[in-house]
């Protein structure tokens, strides 16, 4: 009973456990891969805006997988991210189409404009 109450307030405990495991994987990467992975993780926390826990967990798990494989293979960081790390990170994040905080505001804006436009909403001018 208590676990359901806590999950209702904070989200699924299993997601938190998985997040901590993936974060630990990132934190344990050898250098310079650890620095690159931590920088991307931090950027995703600001840029991504994903509010769907399952999507976020999948993204961070894939991030850990990417950098673990790169470290194991000795792949140069620039070979992975290219010359523009921001473009790489944003393209990576866009592959995860979860709900984002901005979705609610987009819907709210659309509704407000539709209501304000009234009969003009169809694009037909009243005669």
pLDDT tens sequence across 27-62:
999 999 999 999 999 998 887 667 678 888 999 999
Domain range list for the chain:
2-119
What is the band of 124 on the pLDDT scale with cuts at 50, 70, 90?
Answer: low
d(CA 66, CA 33): 10
Q: Tens of pLDDT along 60-98?
A: 999 999 999 999 999 999 999 999 999 999 899 888 876
DSSP 31: T
């Amino acid at each position: 009973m208590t676990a359901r109450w806590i999950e209702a307030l904070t989200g699924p405990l299993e997601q938190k456990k998985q997040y901590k495991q993936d974060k630990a994987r990132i934190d344990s990467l050898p250098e310079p891969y650890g620095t690159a992975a931590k920088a991307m993780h931090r950027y995703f926390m600001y840029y991504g805006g994903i509010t769907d826990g399952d999507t976020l967990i999948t993204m961070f798990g894939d991030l850990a997988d990417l950098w673990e494989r790169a470290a194991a293979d000795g792949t140069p960081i620039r070979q992975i991210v290219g010359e523009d790390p921001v473009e790489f990170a944003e393209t990576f994040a866009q592959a995860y189409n979860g709900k984002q905080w901005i979705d609610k505001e987009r819907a709210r804006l659309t509704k407000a404009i539709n209501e304000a436009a009234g009969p003009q909403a169809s694009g037909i001018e009243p005669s």
